[in-house]
Amino acid sequence: MSGDIRSEGNSNYELQQSVSTWTAFCATLKRDLLIAFKRRNDLLNPVMFFLIVVSLFPLGVSPDPMELTRISAGVVWVSALLASMLSLDNLYRADYEDGSLEQLLLSPQPLYFLVLAKNIAHWLISGLPVVILSPLLAYMLYLPAEAYTTMVLTLLIGTPVLSLFGSIGVALTVGLGSRGLILAVIVLPLTTPVLIIGAKAVTDVMFGVPLASHFALLGAILALALVMSPLASAAALRISVN
């Protein structure tokens, strides 16, 4: 069903050459979002996964409100991390299999911006719904009211980093047969700083610790990831597709 969108984009090489980088960026973003919205299940899966993982913790740890309050920040953050991991595979695989990834690599526009567009689309599809859903889950885990804003804000800054870092891992493994576990092994260690800072900010706000440094560090990591990680993803894609 998405075939006509793809062929439209690649129909004419001369036409592509006259396309500005900005137009190509918007077109890639729009295309990825459109494909995602046509596959509703893929859209729902990360959110459902997030919901299920979070609800496993009270079952596994304890339904005691005190206990849950203590671990709530970490649980929400770890679950968001895992949900982002789960949805990563969609980022380049379908494009790799039907060949449109090769067209992307051949396009005259800088690959950096096209990869960035795909990463932003991935975040809008998988990261943003998790961020929006997080207050509900935080409520179920008895997170104190004063920590809600911090949790949503840290997730808002942190989840794009997860998409950006994850993209490197997917790009490296896109051509492989069995990539599910290897992707997690490669990507998860890279995401630890975001997890540490994000979860700690939410815990610290409960104790009244000032949060400026947490947000500064998270913002710095996001800035670094925005600049560097699409470059690494682009290089990795060129290697994998060859």
Partner 1 sequence: MWLWFSKLGSPRWFYELSSKWLPWLYALMFVMLGVGLVWALLFVPADYQQGQTIRIMYVHVPVASISLACFPLMAIAGTITLVWKMKLADMVAKSVAPIGAWFTGLALASGAIWGDQIWGTWWAWDARLTSLLIQFFLFVGVIALRSAIESPDAAAKACAVLAIVGAINVPIIKYSVEWWNTLHQPASSISFDAVAPNPPEIWVPLVIMILAVYVFFAISLILRTRNEILQRERRAQWVMDLVARDQQK
- Binding residues (CB under 8 A) for partner 1: these are 168, 172-173, 175-176, 178-179, 182, 185-186, 188-190, 192-193, 196-197, 200, 217, 221, 224, 228-229, 232, 235-236, 239-240, 242
Least Cβ distance, residue 164 to partner 1 (angstroms): 11
Q: Give whichever of 72 and 173 is closer to partner 1, judged by the CB atom.
A: 173
Least Cβ distance, residue 89 to partner 1 (angstroms): 15
Q: How far apart are CA 201 and CA 191, in angstroms?
A: 16
Token pair of 134, please? 């997080």
Least Cβ distance, residue 213 to partner 1 (angstroms): 8
Q: Which residues of 30-54 are buried (b: 16+ CB within 10 A; e: fewer)?
A: ebbbebbeeeeebbebbbebbbebb
Q: Give whichever of 35 and 172 is closer to partner 1, judged by the CB atom.
A: 172
Q: Given CA atoms 91, 93, 99, 103 in this order, what sign does their dihedral have? A: positive
Q: Give whichever of 63 and 177 is closer to partner 1, judged by the CB atom.
A: 177
Number of other CB atoms surrounding residue 60 within 10 Å: 7
Least Cβ distance, residue 51 to partner 1 (angstroms): 27
Q: Give whichever of 34 and 224 is closer to partner 1, judged by the CB atom.
A: 224
CB 111 within 8 A of CB 104: yes
